[in-house]
């Protein structure tokens, strides 16, 4: 199954993607993870992307499209994939359709995890990450719950940046909902509930 995962930053896309990967044994392609890894490693791509990511802006299309197209050549994507964080604009969606057409691997669904903006602001500004293992926790975690490492707030999780990211999402990414609805691929799920309940609805909607 080939799926595009939609939703605002902090809607819970990563959580649902991880469960879909486990259930369906398909590849999870997270552009955010790939870009953060490139930033950490100091690659040319990472250096180019960092200024955009820190400000909460979208990384330019040419960088993302090249990254995703290259990733889709990997063997682990042949059985199916979940695209998490891409496409984010209508232009990217059109480019993705063109690449998937060349590969003869069309999308089966565009899964939208829907959460109200103020709920997301609360979620992201309280989010913390472990410097050692990357575990995601909350502001109440003084040390990592997995490895006892130091927890920190990512640069893009402060309130001003979070609100900017949501504004960018509404202006640039929300039109994708209409795009995929027009393609008869959109599946919308309420994400403001316990993740287990959300996943139950996801599997029903995708007939898994």
Contacts of 108 (CB under 8 A, 6+ apart): 1, 2, 3, 185, 206
Told to judge if 123 belongs to the known catalytic residues of this protein, a careful annotator would answer no
C-beta separation of 204 from 23 below 8 A: no
Active-site annotation holder among 36, 71, 88, 128? 88
Active-site annotation holder among 13, 71, 123, 128? 13
Told to judge if 13 belongs to the known catalytic residues of this protein, a careful annotator would answer yes
Active-site annotation holder among 48, 154, 163, 181? 154
Told to judge if 165 belongs to the known catalytic residues of this protein, a careful annotator would answer yes
Active-site annotation holder among 36, 71, 127, 128? 127
Told to judge if 127 belongs to the known catalytic residues of this protein, a careful annotator would answer yes
Cα three-residue angle 108-179-109, rounded to 5 degrees: 15
In the chain, DSSP assigns E strands to 2-6, 27-30, 81-84, 109-114, 127-130, 136-138, 151-152, 186-190
Q: Distances from the Cα of 22 to the Cαs of 53, 93, 167, in angstroms?
A: 28, 26, 32
Active-site annotation holder among 36, 50, 128, 165? 165
Question: What is the bridge-based pairing of β-strands 109-114 and 136-138?
Answer: unpaired
Q: Long-range contacts of range 123-126, CB-CB < 8 Å, 24 or more positions apart?
A: 123/10, 124/9, 124/10, 124/157, 124/162, 125/157, 125/158, 125/159, 125/162
- Residues with active-site annotation: 13, 88, 127, 154, 165
């Amino acid at each position: 199954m080939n799926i595009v995962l939609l939703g605002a930053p902090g809607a819970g896309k990563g959580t649902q993607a991880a469960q879909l990967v486990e259930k369906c044994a398909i590849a999870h392609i997270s552009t955010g993870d790939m870009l953060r890894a490139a930033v950490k490693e100091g690659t040319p791509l990472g250096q180019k992307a960092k200024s955009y990511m820190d400000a909460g802006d979208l990384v330019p299309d040419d960088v993302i499209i090249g990254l995703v197209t290259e990733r889709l050549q990997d063997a682990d994507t042949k059985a199916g994939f979940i695209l998490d964080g891409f496409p984010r604009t209508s232009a990217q969606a059109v480019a993705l359709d063109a690449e998937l057409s060349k590969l003869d691997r069309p999308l089966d669904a565009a899964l939208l995890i829907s959460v109200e903006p103020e709920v997301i602001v609360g979620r992201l500004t309280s989010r913390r990450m472990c410097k050692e293992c990357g575990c995601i926790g909350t502001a109440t975690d003084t040390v990592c719950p997995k490895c006892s490492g130091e927890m920190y707030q990512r640069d893009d999780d402060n309130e001003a940046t979070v609100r900017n990211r949501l504004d960018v999402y509404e202006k640039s990414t929300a039109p994708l909902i209409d795009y995929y609805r027009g393609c008869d691929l959109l599946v919308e799920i309420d994400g403001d509930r316990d993740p287990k309940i959300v996943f139950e609805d996801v599997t029903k909607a995708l007939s898994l």
